[in-house]
Amino acid sequence: MKKTALAISMALASTSVLAAMSAEEIAQYDIPFYDHTLDIEDRLNDISQRLTDEEKGHMITLWNKGVPRYGLKSFPPGEALHGLVTPREIPHTVFPQSIGLAATWDPAAMKRMGDAVSDEARAQYHNGPLDNRGQKGPLTFWSPVINIARDPRWGRTQEAYGEDPLVNGTFATAYVQGLQGDHPKYLKTAAGAKHFVANNEEHNRFNGNADISEKQLREYYFPAYKQVVQEGDAKIIMTAYNRLNGEPAVTNKWLVKDVLRGEWGFDGFVLGDYGSILMTTKGWGERGFQGHEIYENYVEATAAVLNAETLDFDNTRVFRREALTAIEQGKTTSAQLDRAFRNTMRVGLQLGMFDPEELSPWKDLPFETLTTFKDLALELAEKSMVLLQNEPVNGTPLLPLDKSALKTVAVIGPNADVLNYGTYSGTATDPVTPLQGIRDYLGDDVEVLYVPWATDEDELTHIAMDNISTLDNQGLGVWRAVYHDDQMARGKPAGRENVAHIDFSWTDDKPHEALTKDRYSVTYTTTVVPPQSGLYTLGLEHQGGDVVINVNGGPLIRDHGDANKLLRSTQEIELDASQAYEITVVSMRKGNAKDHVLRFGWQLPQEESQFEGGELEVAKQADAVIAVMGLSVDYERESIDRAFEGLPQAQTDMLRSVVNANPNTVVVMQSGSSIESPWLKDNVPAILQSWYPGEQGGNAIANTLFGDNNPGGKLPQTWVRSWDDLPPFNDYDMTKGRSYWYFDKEPLFAFGHGLSYTDFTMDKLKLKSNKVKQDGTIDLSVRVKNTGKVDGDEVVQVYVHDKFDRSDKPQQRLKAFERVSLKKGERKTVDLSIDVADLAYWDEQTKDWALGDRYEIRVGNASDNIKLTDTVRVK
């Protein structure tokens, strides 16, 4: 879960560390812990026996003060999903969103991105400014997200690497390897994979239950985590909010202790998602929050996670408060707290953060390293472009557009002059929108006709907890409510409490049991840090009283309201993502009002609106139309699942008119998930999926549209024709038609699909042997030739089909892939290898892995475009 910039700056967070002391400063603490020549376990033994339980608890929670008597200071955690996020006010390189990175099918490039991000992190840590608490930038990151994108309705699909376990695990592993580096002694940074496991719904993420068989966990949901632990050596794992088969992930001993640590050998530290321990306790529903409502209080919940050995680090405060009480009451032990402390501190030692800074291999990376990876951002954005469709217009494929044949180009659509980064994004320097990229590419040679997409009123949404930095005593974002038995909020308050959000309707009951009069007032106050800079809309739906909204003490909205009518009051305000804002909402109930309704929300900066007709006029004038459509974080993000399939209706309405007026229309889509629109496929000749392409997105789009970049990206997810083709959102049974493994209907666009401006052939599939041993490998080669007229990239995809009976048998599974670049006329032989053990399935009878005797090897360039096959026998 994302922490706001203010909350992070307030927080003395993550593991305890020595904050970049010099050798001379360290010398004053003449204890073995600071002797970098000693074995890590010896250093842990030393510091462990010196600290009290209370001090250890401070070291493994957020908002800790460190241990001054030993010079131990804390450092903040960070986010680095597709570039550094923290601190937000410092610019960093912003790369394409995760789903777009997966569409590159190029894990080597992903590893280079991880290396670039960790370069920026180390440059910031060693040579950047301190925050207002004297802390350096983060070296531990709650990234990447490797929850498998099993359903396009999930609001965080954009943060994942698609629906396939191999693609998911391979990209997460490559990124982790880049982030953590390959130094023989020190971690460059520490990467944290999340959310373990089956965190795939936003609307009920705090209290949902994922009911999944062990077979499907082993075969589908676990492999990416196992790969990132065993191949990537990730040092941090974050558990999910949800339950797994009835047990919250945060207390699930089988999941964490038995599988993650016991079977897979994970040796880093485990933390829960923000506040997840608290959400296992009772009473959350009464305060407007979701929760699991299991344990009576925080002490019991803290004892549960310590005794189950599921968590080592808590990002609230229970390990420094309730853990001590639990030990005193005999509900857990000091040894369990020490275990968690050592697991967390071990990673800090591996980062070298308790050693003299002059020993760091990255100490000389200048602060100016930040924002210097624009070329890599452009490369990744270009590689992520997926050409979904390119039908002929007047006998010739519409793309690439021929600049020399154009006099005018119309650029339209809600995403034309905005650059959607997606969630967990940092701040870029000189980002390039699609409109700017197209204008820069065409220069003065071609006239660009642009029609802005007019803004329209939209739904107000609750401010997500992760954007609220007013914290309760456990560190959760809340609104502080104060109740007065006086309409003008005068005198001594009748009551106080914390609430999750402002969404109330009172008829016979009053907002608080202490209120006794009909004319009363309620004042809600919180502090927020916006997720992005821009023009926000703040507003209320209200009935029964006067309302006031103040921002930083100044009035934004005042409305006398109506006793009997529901009203809506909104006001736009410019908010800066690097600033914190105090918001106060006051509702003063009228004495004659029967109903008292109060709902507060905001609308994020956006360009979305209704189609107003100007686009049609420029479409008629232009030689070609580039319509930049799609979604944004208004429709899909953390806390918000998608509410509708396909494009917003206003966009489709506009496209119907434009395509009829000018058939030379290209649709460029930005989204973090699939766009389920058969109409689009049937009526628009050329469709380019650009995802959320990062700071160089506009240049990448222009280069692709006009042919300087030949698109070679492939879909990392199946695009269904309709959500009606999917099982219920909360059904985690993959065999009911999820992913290309089990989807049995015609897709809109298949997993692995992606076209090119050139043509490729595949032939000469050769297996080293058609008989392999159970502990052997399947070695194969295939020849790929570029038979077209331009250079381009193709992705060789190798699928396996089980040619024997077994339960829950998939149609096929991706087991190897490679992106290959070929000049026109060039041919290459691509060699690939598959471990036979990776073909195994989980036998529910023996509770172990088993192999069949025959497998079909399928080679193609998409899951629905298999070109070559052969069969192997396992002896």
Query: For 764-806, how does the pLDDT look when each residue is reduced to its tens digit (9 = 90+)?
Result: 999 999 999 999 999 999 999 999 999 999 999 999 999 999 9
The tokens describing 525, both together, are 């106050």
Question: Is the previous residue joined to 184 through a cis bond, with omega within 30 degrees of 0?
Answer: no
Q: Which of 106, 273, 312, 634 is catalytic?
A: 273
Q: Is residue 750 part of a domain?
A: no
Same structural domain, 688 and 798: no
Q: Does residue 534 sit in the same domain as residue 627?
A: no
Exposure string over 249-284, b if 16+ CB within 10 A, otherwise e: bbbbeebbeebbbeebebebbbbbbbbbbbbbbeeb
How many angstroms separate the CA atoms of 693 and 373, rounded? Answer: 14
- The CA dihedral of 120, 124, 128, 130, to the nearest 10 degrees, is 150
Whose CA is closest to 143, among 243, 234, 241? Answer: 234
With 0-12 / 13-18 / 19 or more C-beta atoms within 10 angstroms meaning exposed / middle / buried, residue 567 is middle
Pick from 710, 742, 774: which residue ends a domain? 742
Q: Are 161 and 101 in contact (CB under 8 A)?
A: yes
DSSP bridge pairs for 88: none
The position carrying tokens 């599988």 is 259
Percentage of the chain exceeding pLDDT 70 = 94
Of 545, 576, 603, the domain-final residue: 603
Quick check: is 456 catalytic? no
* Burial zone of 404 (CB within 10 Å; 0-12 exposed, 13-18 middle, 19+ buried): exposed
**Rounded to whole angstroms, how far apart are CA atoms 696 and 199?**
30
- What distances in angstroms separate CA 110 from CA 395, 708, 850, one per listed residue? 38, 22, 33
Domain that holds residue 480: 465-603
Residue whose structure tokens are 């997810």: 717
pLDDT for position 285? 73
- Same domain, residue pair 766 and 734: no
Q: So what's the pLDDT on residue 155? A: 95
C-alpha span between 182 and 417 (Å, rounded): 40
CATH assignment of the domain containing 339: 3.20.20.300
CB 225 within 8 A of CB 238: no
Q: Whose structure tokens read 């968590």? A: 311
* CA–CA separation, 179 and 181 (whole Å): 6
Residue 4 has what pLDDT? 40
Tokens of 6: 């203010």
On whether the CB atoms of residues 23 and 356 are closer than 8 A, the answer is yes
Q: Which residue has the tokens 């994020």?
A: 604
Task: Enter the DSSP assignment of 775.
Answer: T
441 lies in some domain: yes
- 72 pairs with which residues across the strands? 67
Nearest to 207 by CA among 260, 147, 278: 278
pLDDT recorded at residue 287: 64
pLDDT computed for residue 14 by the predictor: 35
For residue 801, say if its preceding peptide bond is cis, omega within 30 degrees of 0.
no
Residue 147 belongs to a domain:
yes
Q: What are phi and psi of 298, to 5 degrees?
A: -65, -30
**Nearby residues of 335 by Cβ (< 8 Å), 6 or more positions away:** none
Residue 124 lies in a domain: no
Domain boundary (699, 714, 742) is at: 742
Same domain? For 715 and 806 the reply is no
**523 close to 546: Cβ distance less than 8 angstroms:** no
Token pair belonging to 1? 């879960």
Backbone angles phi, psi at 752, to 5 degrees: 85, -5
User: Quick one: pLDDT at residue 289?
Assistant: 72
Given a contact cutoff of 8 angstroms between Cβ atoms, the answer to whether 624 and 354 are in contact is no
* Cross-strand partners of 73: 17
Tokens of 132: 């207002």
| Calpha distance 178→420 (Å, rounded) | 25
CA triplet 545, 551, 552: central angle to 5 degrees? 135
SS3 at position 471: strand
Residue 59's identity, in one-letter code, is M
pLDDT for res 208: 94
Cα distances (angstroms) measured from residue 470 to each of 272, 280, 363, 582, 585:
20, 21, 36, 9, 14
Asked if residue 751 belongs to a domain, the reply is no
By the 8 A CB rule, do 416 and 433 touch? yes
Residues 669 and 804 in one domain: no
Q: Are residues 589 and 665 in the same domain?
A: no
Q: Considering the domain boundaries, does residue 351 fall inside one? A: yes
CA dihedral 198, 199, 205, 208 (to 10 degrees): 0
Cis peptide preceding 87, ω within 30 of 0 = yes
How many domains does the chain divide into?
4
Residues of the chain with pLDDT under 70: 1-28, 75, 132-133, 286-288, 455-458, 475, 508, 606-613
pLDDT in tens, 487-529: 777 788 998 988 888 888 877 677 788 888 878 889 999 999 8
Looking at the fold, whether 672 and 697 belong to one and the same domain comes out as yes
Cis preceding linkage at 144, omega within 30? yes
Strand bridging mode 16-17 / 854-860: unpaired
- What's the CATH code of the domain at 732? 3.40.50.1700
Residues 268 and 382 in one domain: no
One domain, residues 171 and 261: yes
Residue type, 420: N
Q: Please state the φ and ψ torsions of residue 491, each to the nearest 5 degrees.
A: 80, -170
C-alpha 236/C-alpha 266 separation (Å) is: 9
How far apart are the C-alpha atoms of 825 and 392, rounded to whole Å?
23
Looking at the DSSP bridge assignments, the partners of residue 667 are 627, 687
What pLDDT, on the 0 to 100 scale, is given for residue 2?
45
Judgement on whether residues 696 and 630 belong to the same structural domain of the protein: yes
| Burial readout 85-96 (b: 16 or more C-beta within 10 A, e: otherwise) | bbbbebbbbbbb
Ramachandran angles phi, psi of 459, nearest 5°: -70, 140
Using alpha carbons, select from 265, 283, 104 the residue that is nearest to residue 207: 283
Question: pTM to 2 decimals?
Answer: 0.88
Contact in structure between 75 and 18 (CB atoms under 8 Å): no
Residue 810 and residue 742 in contact, taking contact as beta carbons nearer than 8 Å: yes
Element (H, E) at 118: helix 107-127
Q: What is the per-residue pLDDT for 10? A: 34
Whether 52 and 167 share a structural domain: yes
pLDDT confidence of residue 491? 82
Three-state DSSP class for residue 145 = strand
Confirm whether 191 is domain-assigned.
yes
Structure tokens at 671: 């989204």
- In degrees and rounded to multiples of 5, residue 627 shows phi and psi of -105, 115
Domain membership of residue 103 (yes or no) is: no
Helices (H), 424-552: 434-442
Residue 746 CA to residue 721 CA, distance in Å, equals: 8
3-state secondary structure of 141: strand
Same domain for 229 and 248, yes or no, is yes
Number of Cβ atoms within 10 Å of the Cβ of 607: 18
Residue 798: give its domain's CATH number.
Answer: 2.60.40.10
Q: Is 694 helix (H, G, I), strand (E, B) or coil?
A: coil
